[in-house]
Amino acid sequence: MTEPTVLILMGSDSDLSTMEETTKVLSEFGVPYEIHVSSAHRSPVKTAKLASEAAGRGIQVIIAAAGMAAHLAGVIAAETTLPVIGVPMTGGALNGVDALYAMVQMPGGIPVGTMAIGKAGAKNAGLFAVQILSLAAPELRAKLVSYKTKMAEEVEQKDQALQVSRRG
């Protein structure tokens, strides 16, 4: 089995249904990953260890999903020099807006690339990780080109179907 290059951390197991969007993308591109539940608040020692040891284990990108206070991505970013991608989860009193603000308002020096709230953000986190990895992997770059070409073709097919139905 190929060693993982992407580490996905979730603050809660309730985030899994959303983060499956990330795992689908990584699997589609053949990118090996590992996934864990680890909370910045409830299991800080485990979280720090996963983040600080990731590079030494061959991880190249970390994706962190959390809701509400959403400190997970920032705690991870403080423990590593690897790129960290944050995915704010829906829920809580502000339906994910609080998590989004927590991730995008990191202090200077501790960057977290932050995606949209929820499933779209989880999918884009996977794609962004693939884009980062593709800088050193031409085969991934080629798969990204094919992926974008396929998306454009699907849009064109939908437009053609629309045009036919409007004429009819």
Residue list, annotated binding site for substrate:
12, 15, 42
Binding residues are 12, 15, 42
Strand 6-10 to 33-37 pairing? parallel
Alpha carbon distances (Å) from 115 to 14, 106, 128, 138, 154: 18, 14, 9, 24, 24
Alpha-carbon distance of 19 to 63, in angstroms, equals 10
Alpha-carbon distance of 145 to 134, in angstroms, equals 11
Alpha-carbon distance of 168 to 91, in angstroms, equals 44
